[in-house]
Structure 1
Amino acid sequence: MAEITLTATPGRETGTRSSRRLRAEAKVPAVVYGLGRDTVAVTVDWRELRSALITDAGINALIDLTVEGEGESNLAIIKDMQRHPISHTVDHVDFLLIRRDQELAVDVPVVLEGVADEVENNQGLVEQSITLLTVNALPESIPDQLTYDISEMEIGDTVTVGDLTLPSGVTTDVEPDEVVASAQVSRAAIEAEAEEAELAEMAELNELAEAGVGEGDLAEGEGGSDEGDEG
């Protein structure tokens, strides 16, 4: 996994007003912690941070982080990131310092590939219930994503965590029978089938009515038949 170089500036003021001023200057408030160190309030340049986030690794990118005034850099990942609810700009970032030989628990995207033609031809759809899977891996082994080909799925099929192929050195504590995705008949198809059955029933009743046979006649006819059998 490629590493991104990022420089953080310490000594920022905390508080809402200060944070707003920093964002106006294209700076992002952040904190750095981990490896037994005290938490340090810093700022990072938005353009540099954006470069780190748009790699294939996304939020799990390995970052070669240098805090100005400290000299040497440290390996870090983004542990948490807060975005504005409307503009979706990054409001705050938590950087966690890590060791290369220390296993981490991180959330990795689960991506469904291919087209389930058999499902679509039967008016169904594939519903994904797990989009992020928590895995354990050394920093260098963290996958960008986990993929599964749904091309062969049929209505009623499910994909579980156990069906996913994890790269060498990567594990998960999630139970293997947890459902990742399932192929089901769509709600629209179910409603259409119910409506079709209702229309068919109404058509049958209309035919009986036109023939002069009512529900009472049918009941009497059935009763008369029983009496005739008994006689």
Structure 2
Amino acid sequence: MAEIVIEAEPREVGSSNTARRLRREEKLPAVVYGGDKGSHAIVLSPREIISILTSESGQNTIFKLKVAGGSEDNVMIFDVQIDPITHRLIHADLVRIALDVEIEVSVPLQLSGEALGVTEDGGVLDHSLRELVVSCLPTDIPESIDVDVSELQMNQSIKVEDLAVPPSVTVVTPPDSSVASVVPPVSEADLEADLGLEGEEIEGEELAEDAEEAPEKEGEATEAEETEDELAPE
């Protein structure tokens, strides 16, 4: 894979107005830190960061950061901020890395195959763990880890300890964590019970019965009043 190089410029830390102005100019405020060089505010192209985030290796991509008039470092994207309204990228955190020092990263788990418990028994495949935390050298980070579910039968599960990972990778996620399982489909009755609909129906029936009894009680009260009037002395 060809080396990715992104150029950046130093940035003076200012107000939120300064950050908005930079974004209007299609420049992304960012910060780079880690190692023994301290933290530095920079500005770079948002398109290049988006291109990395949408690549196959995504946030685990290692790239070269060249800061004008300054240093040149191997970095990764540590975090990004997205505007909740416009969904635009508004800030990025980059972390310096040493290629000869192991780091912990999250690697996507990709399911493959059709589970027997689904195709033959009508079960439902539950993909409960979507990322695996591993420790390895930056150059050994896998893009993803394949999980073959084709032999998975009803009420069976695949755990982290069952996964095939590269020998250069150490798994950090607990080994007994469930990755995927085949479970029986949820019936309509079970779903209603889970949602509390059954209790609501019973409560509704009780209210309806109370409403039907109310006129009868009112009628009984009226008859009693009339009887009292008839027996009252003139």
Q: Any idea what SS the aligned residue of 2:38 has?
A: strand
RMSD: 2.1
Counterpart-to-counterpart distance in 2, 1:38 and 1:101:
20
Which blocks of at least 5 consecutive residues in structure 1 are unaligned? 195-231
- Paired residue for 1:133? 132
Deviations 1:120-159 (A, max 9, x none): 4423211122111111010110011111011111111111
Counterpart-to-counterpart distance in 2, 1:133 and 1:190:
35
**Given the two structures, how large is their TM-score scaled by the length of structure 1?**
0.76
**Given the two structures, how large is their TM-score scaled by the length of structure 2?**
0.75
Q: 1:5 and 2:2 equivalent?
A: no
Counterpart-to-counterpart distance in 1, 2:118 and 2:147:
16
Deviation (angstroms), 1:81: 1.6
- Paired residue for 1:221? none
1:77 maps to amino acid: M
Counterpart-to-counterpart distance in 2, 1:122 and 1:189:
18
Query: Number of matched residues?
Result: 192
- Paired residue for 1:175? 174
Aligned 8 A contact 1:12 1:43 in 2 = no
2:89 maps to amino acid: V
Counterpart-to-counterpart distance in 1, 2:8 and 2:189:
55
The structure having more radius of gyration, on CA atoms, is 2
Matches within 5 A, 1:213-224: none
Which blocks of at least 5 consecutive residues in structure 2 are unaligned? 194-234
Aligned 8 A contact 1:63 1:75 in 2 = yes
Q: Any idea what SS the aligned residue of 1:175 has?
A: coil
- Paired residue for 2:203? none
Aligned 8 A contact 2:117 2:182 in 1 = no
Q: Which structure 1 residue ranges, 4+ long, deviate > 6 Å from structure 2?
A: none
Counterpart-to-counterpart distance in 2, 1:190 and 1:125:
17
Aligned 8 A contact 1:9 1:42 in 2 = yes
- Paired residue for 2:61? 61
